[in-house]
Amino acid sequence: MNDNQIAYLCSQYPAISHTFIYREIESLRKGGMKVHTASIRKPSGLEVMTPAEQQEATSTLFVLSQPPLKILKAHLHSLTHNPSGYMKMAGAALKLITSGPKSPVKAVAYFIEAGILLQWVHDHGITHIHEHFGNPTALVAMLMKQYGGISFSLSIHGPDIFYTVDSSMLPEKVREASFVRCISHYCRSQIMRISSPAAWDNFHIIRCGVDPDLYTVRPEPENHHPELLCVGRLVPAKGQHILLEACSKLHKEGVDFHLTMVGDGPDRTSLEEYARSNSLETIVTFTGALGQDKVRSVYDRADLFILASFAEGVPVVLMEAMAKEIPVISTRITGIPELIDHEKDGLLAVPGDPEDLAFQIRRMLENSALRTQLAKAGRQKVIASYNQHNNNHGLLNLFRKELQQ
């Protein structure tokens, strides 16, 4: 057994909307930790990811892609390796029929997935699993812990998981985890809310981050029209409809700009229809999903970055933009005010209010000195508190402490 190795377990890895997990794993590897990766499902959009992410996929275990015979052999291995542990895991899976997901189908699926993963971790000598988001893959890790010889930890981002603490069994996941990494004070407070005060010392704030040496200061753009940029999945939580409403208001007032929206998702059709019906089709461009290498070139052309979210953890895209000295505007929700101090290193708008968002955009567009001041302060904020490699030292120390027990 290698006492300096762990596994990362994700619902989908690598994922185009969660490239920060890939970068976090790479940072841990550079710090001396051997990290194996497993994904419940095969990733979508792999063709637009970077070559490095595509290579990462070739060494990742895709649990649900295993053939039936291999699944059967994995469960026979787990049964013969530890019969009592296997039965204990089966009993824990049965409880999921009446608690948490309350679904016989999901209970069976999580049990099958746990059996596949058990043989994989045994083959590699892995004893600790880390899971991001606290989603159903954490239930699979809980089942593996019931089997014995496996511990797990969580990275909690929020906020969606905080709305379904009972059905997601978040209190149970937190209680069973060796430790919980929280990405913000807001996140930690929500975990504290559902936990005993005696457990609070087990919740550690380790922020996500970016590499300032990769996301370097972009040259000052020389655009004919001020270039606004929004990067993110096109989903209700991102508030892109509010952004388009704000842009419609500014356009009617004669404000000159162009908006690029990078990303894809279920809201794309309605967003494109809104742009057409409000005469924005010539000033709003939808690029679809782009790989990280192409996204960085889009950042280089941006005069202003905007994220009008309703619900977020602490968006890594904001850190990326700030690291490149792009002035940013976002909303006063969840952990975002921990990243952006209003009027010091960015601007914050009232969530769900297109009038206030338009006001903040106009402020930024009309004041080049303010843009420069906030952009420079934003990069310094990232360097000081959201440097991926510095922050990952804390995560490395937690993993090493766990592996020594």
Per-residue pLDDT tens digits for 270-320: 999 999 999 999 999 999 999 998 999 999 999 999 999 999 999 999 999
Is the pLDDT at 63 greater than 90, yes or no? yes
Number of structural domains (the chain) is 2
- Other C-beta atoms closer than 10 Å to the C-beta of 16 total 23
Q: Name the pLDDT band for 68 (thresholds 50, 70, 90).
A: very high
For residue 305 the two structure tokens come to: 């970055």
pLDDT for position 3 = 76
Q: Name the pLDDT band for 152 (thresholds 50, 70, 90).
A: very high
Q: Name the pLDDT band for 357 (thresholds 50, 70, 90).
A: very high
Q: For residue 346, what are the domain limits?
A: 227-385
Is the pLDDT at 2 greater than 70, yes or no? no
Q: 201 and 308: one domain? A: no
Q: 301 and 392: one domain? A: no
Please give the order of strands across the beta sheet that includes 227-231. Answer: 284-288, 258-262, 227-231, 304-306, 328-331, 347-349
DSSP letter at 92 equals H
Is the pLDDT at 1 greater than 60, yes or no? no
Q: 95 and 191: one domain? A: yes
Q: 394 and 379: one domain? A: no
User: What percentage of the chain exceeds 70 in pLDDT?
Assistant: 100
DSSP letter at 159 equals S
Q: What's the whole-number mean pLDDT along residues 329-336?
A: 98
Q: What's the whole-number mean pLDDT along residues 147-168?
A: 96
Q: 247 and 348: one domain? A: yes
pTM, full prediction: 0.95
- Dist CA 180 CA 170 (whole Å): 11
Over the chain, what is the mean pLDDT?
97
pLDDT for position 405 = 83
For residue 50 the two structure tokens come to: 């970077």
Q: 162 and 258: one domain? A: no
Between the alpha carbon of residue 392 and those of residues 163, 169, 180, 405, the distances in Å are 28, 27, 14, 20
Provide Rg for the chain, Cα atoms.
22
Question: What is the largest distance, in Å, between two alpha-carbon atoms of the chain?
Answer: 73
Q: 191 and 67: one domain? A: yes
222 in any annotated domain: no
- Other C-beta atoms closer than 10 Å to the C-beta of 311 total 18
Q: What's the whole-number mean pLDDT along residues 191-215?
A: 97
Domain CATH for 253: 3.40.50.2000
